[in-house]
Amino acid sequence: MTDPAEIGVFGGSGFYSLLEDVREVKVDTPYGAPSDSFFLATVGGRRVAFLPRHGRRHTIPPHRINYRANVWAMRSLGVKAVISPCAAGSLAIGVKPGDFVVCDQFVDRTSGRPHTFFDGPIVTHLSSAETYDPTLRRLAIETIRDHGITVHERGTVVVIEGPRFSTKAESTWFADAGWEVINMTQYPEAWLCRELGMAVVNISLITDYDAGVLEGTEAVDAVSVLEVFAQNADRIQKVVLDLIGRFPSDLDALGARSALGPTRGDGQAMSRDDIRLFETGL
């Protein structure tokens, strides 16, 4: 199979269940099995690969997701740009349940997750200063606005290990640091996309205030999170499908692939004759 997709979406079955001519494919990777089969479809004239990151029946908790397999499989299908929508909590009073946040930064508070493809033997260092692609972020903001949804143009998402929610003390700590969003899946998912030369954009759908953020609100629980997400599922689906059609025709121009050039720690910049492992077809 040669490059059956150019854009990838990490999301549930709602994104592709109503599309026509959806094709299901299984992808093997050097890192084991991805969360599920991939679902290939055409949206707005673009070839798209959808993967439910938790599995189609939501059976994989965030700390058990095989992020490396998921991202490697996306890249092996030809994907060059990824949309990574997620449910998230708010750490700021002004960021309300039902709002969308297009995050521009992350803070990693996970523990023990395999989080890099660069395990050697060539030492590689890639900057994470701007993990989320600015062009795709701008397009996402415009799309969300056009759908009449309240959108926050930037935000820092702190990614916790899960599956437990934060204590009030942790939540207060994160909020006092000035971070706006809390989630369990953005790291290492978004970062691994960058390591394989794929541009990535996040849309966080706010489902609740995290514990300790707003006095008088009850502590977050899984049932309430899923209820709010279900109520807004149609909105995030429409935004993502619309956004796909607005992606640049030349995804290489986003620069995610070229950003890998000066990353090798052996002192040799990548030349056109070098071959990255993910490009060997494994």
Q: Which residues are annotated as catalytic?
A: 208, 210
Direct distance between the N- and C-terminal alpha carbons of the chain, in angstroms, rounded to an integer: 12
Closest by Cα among 181, 103, 105, 106 to 137? 103
Q: Computed over its alpha carbons, how large is the radius of gyration of the chain? A: 18
Closest by Cα among 88, 118, 125 to 202? 88
Structure tokens at 10: 């990490």
Residue 236, number of CB atoms within 10 A of its CB? 24
State which H helix or E strand residue 24 sits in. strand 23-25
Measured CA to CA, the distance from residue 255 to residue 80 in angstroms comes to 10
